[in-house]
Chain A
Amino acid sequence: MDRRDTLKSLSLLSAHALFPAVWSAFLSSCSSKEKIEGYEAVFFTDEDLKAAAEIADIIFPATDTPSASEAGVHIFIEKYTMACYDDEQQQVLVAGLRRWQKNVALSDGEKAKKITEMDRKAYANGSDADSQFFRSFKSLTVLGYFFSERGAAAADYVPVPGRFEGCIDLKPGQKVQLLNSMT
């Protein structure tokens, strides 16, 4: 069974049945391109999933740390939307992804500009559909990224500090600490 078939059969299981450690290990063994092409969307359409990866990567592009889609954020967003969101939240998110798909002809620069504008409006308390969508989508992007094993590389992951030091010097460039509790 090749990877694509494995993913297909995995996606038939309910999300609860997936042993999370196995799942994340599997994801981290794939490149981002394979993940988009190989992961069979369950709740989204393939086009929705592609749109999610595209927007997430404009929010969190690859730098010295992985991009959002390299960390599997688009897949997280699909799973989270399906399992955790109520009907109305699902509708807002999916409708936003569908609207985004109309921008297929735009250049990368134009897309980035569009997202920057959407972000500005959304966090100035915009009440239009795109603002509602974007607040929801971006919060899931940030959440999914820092909760992923590859995304955690953007922070200083410390599973067992072993002690508490209340007041220490912050070294230049020192990253934010990330505990298993995500604080």
Chain B
Amino acid sequence: MRTQNHFDAIVIGSGMSGGWAAKELTEKGLKTLVLERGRNVEHIKDYPTAHTAPWEFPYAMKATREDRERQPIQSTVFHFGQSNKHFFIDDSENPYIQEKPFNWIRGTQVGGKSLLWSRHVFRWSDLDFEANLKEGVAIDWPIRYKDIEPWYDYVESFIGVSGENAGLSQLPDQIMQPPHEMNCVERHCKQKINAHYPDRHMISARVAVLTQPHLGRGACMSRNMCSRGCPYGAYFSSNSSTLPAAAKTGNMTLRPHSIVHSLIYDKETNRAVGVNVIDSETMETHEFFAEVIFMCASTLGTTQILMNSASDTFPDGFANSSGVLGHYLMDHLEGGFSGGKFRGFDDKYYYGSKPNGMYIPRFRNVSDRHPDFTRGYAFECYSSREHWGRGMNQAGVGSDFKDKLSHPGDWTMVLVGYAECLPYKHNKVTLDKNEKDKWGLPVLSINMDYGENENKMLKDMMKTGAEMLEAAGLEEIWSAEHKSIPGAVIHEMGTARMGRDPKTSVLNAYNQCHDVPNVFITDGSCMTSSACQNPSLTYMALTARACHYAVEELKKGRL
């Protein structure tokens, strides 16, 4: 007999992936329970700072000592402050162990980090899906571009993407609205760089931000306040898009404050029949049951739950007969900054602030073979005129100085590299046997560092960034390593990877656990390699694809 705790499907997590699982499963008619660890955040209503003027914040929006003590990890994010600190987890209540430095950034609320992301969305290509096989690194992806292409189409058509297509094999064209305009320095650099380096292209970055109204959401107002939550719904978040679509079906039950303790495994049927939940407000425990379970609790969140769901059958973690659960943790390496000033266009300016810059897609190891390293990296490029803030770092006092800061300064351009991180078995997470959090759950212990291949790319990024700026005619060019701490790019991936062989992977080609067929994992933990593109679009496409497959299998009685 079905009770109120029985559903057709349970989705754990409501962020980028969970929102898509909720939308797809409910639209296909499944009564779906969406469990979210954090509080509820309703679109518009719960964006308290969306219209706040600068002077209405204390401390020039900066984090206080108290904020930094409460959120020592979260406050390292570049835009963390008074305007958005409520969308980051309280580190003091959510400890983890850093065997090596690792910044675990978490947005624990309905919508998750989809409220905070940088909104860059790039497709992967077969250059990425085939790399492990061709190079004999880790294991082969069980899918190719043709498998995911229709799902990229599907996701982009719903979320709304703006940007520039360039017909590049390594960065397939996408379904997009027109990009925000380039400024005059960007136009200039785009032309000069490509003229000097025919295989390098500077394009308007592709972002999940609308330049035209789309499915009831409004176009970008160019305020540059995305991380406060967008009251126009101009950028894609679960809150603005997938969760409202799921709610509209009448099939979704959204339960915030629900910390998933573990999956409930039934040995007889070899199925996860439900989940154990701790209500973070009442501390009461609850059991919820369903036919199919989607795990979308973020890469490390999902892995923590799987590890805490060990049983006689799976002593080393749920669905972990392969033993790879927790291993092959990746995050992109950020670094290799280059910058310079552009002399000229003094009589040109722009109006408003756009939510994207330019992007130089990967050009290393695309058609040739670099002698020092495998894979590649891409650059995000940002150009603007210096504003009042330059006065904090340069000499000058008095009325002339004040007047100078009241007017636009020099044109600058900065390139920031993002490198692919190879999957290494020794980069891993485990459950700590001794330390528990306030809900009695064993905490995660993280051990990750970048390897030689990433470090070699870092050196190359500094060199190629600077040489492109030089080719574009910039002056006062500088470059710096600024190597990121693992985790800090917030593209953590791996730890429950997809693969063809159940002996070496947790998931099959449809994100379905090899060991337990009614459990699907579609967040970043499923990734077999990291490419160098921002990964969220791929999580969303894989989620939609897995939901389609799961519902078909359910209908056939195979789950």
Contacts and interface: CB of A to CB of B under 8 A. Distances in A.
B407 A176 contact: yes
Contacts of B353: 161, 164, 179, 181, 183
Interface stretch (B105-113, B394-402, B522-530, B538-546): B394-402
A174 B407 contact: yes
Contact of A164 (B61, B181, B408): B181
A86 B65 contact: yes
Contacts of A161: 221-223, 351-353
Contacts of A170: 346-349, 408
- Interface class of chain B by DSSP: loop
Contacts of A124: 395
Nearest to A116: B397
Contact of B55 (A80, A119, A138, A149): A149
B64 A154 contact: no
A120 interface: yes
A164 B349 contact: no
Interface stretch (A30-38, A43-51, A99-107, A140-148): A140-148
A59 B56 CA distance: 24
B58 interface: yes
Nearest to B384: A183
A79 B58 contact: yes
A1 interface: no
A17 to B, nearest CB: 10
A96 B391 CA distance: 20
A112 B187 CA distance: 44
B180 interface: yes
Given A143-B392, A155-B388, A180 B53 contact: yes
Contacts of A162: 221-222, 352
Contacts of A15: 58-59
A176 B405 contact: yes
Contacts of B55: 20, 24, 147-149, 152
Contacts of A169: 347-349
Interface in B381-432: 384-385, 387-389, 391-399, 401-403, 405-409
Contacts of A179: 223-225, 352-353
Contacts of A164: 180-181, 220, 222, 350-354
Contacts of B330: none
Contacts of A123: 393-395
A169 B354 CA distance: 18
Contacts of B384: 183
B60 A80 contact: yes
Contact of B351 (A80, A168, A173, A182): A168
Nearest to B82: A20
B222 A85 contact: no
Given A147-B60, A174-B349, A115 B397 contact: yes
B99 interface: no
A65 B224 CA distance: 26
Interface in B499-523: none
Contacts of A61: 398-399, 402
A18 interface: yes
Contact of B53 (A86, A149, A165): A149
A80 B62 CA distance: 9
Given A21-B56, A83-B64, A168-B349, 19 more contacts: A18-B58, A58-B398, A83-B59, A83-B65, A138-B397, A143-B392, A147-B54, A154-B405, A162-B221, A162-B352, A164-B222, A164-B354, A165-B352, A166-B182, A167-B350, A174-B349, A177-B408, A180-B52, A183-B387
20 contacts: A15-B59, A63-B402, A80-B60, A84-B62, A112-B398, A116-B397, A139-B393, A143-B60, A148-B55, A165-B352, A166-B181, A166-B187, A166-B350, A167-B184, A174-B349, A176-B405, A177-B351, A178-B54, A182-B61, A183-B353
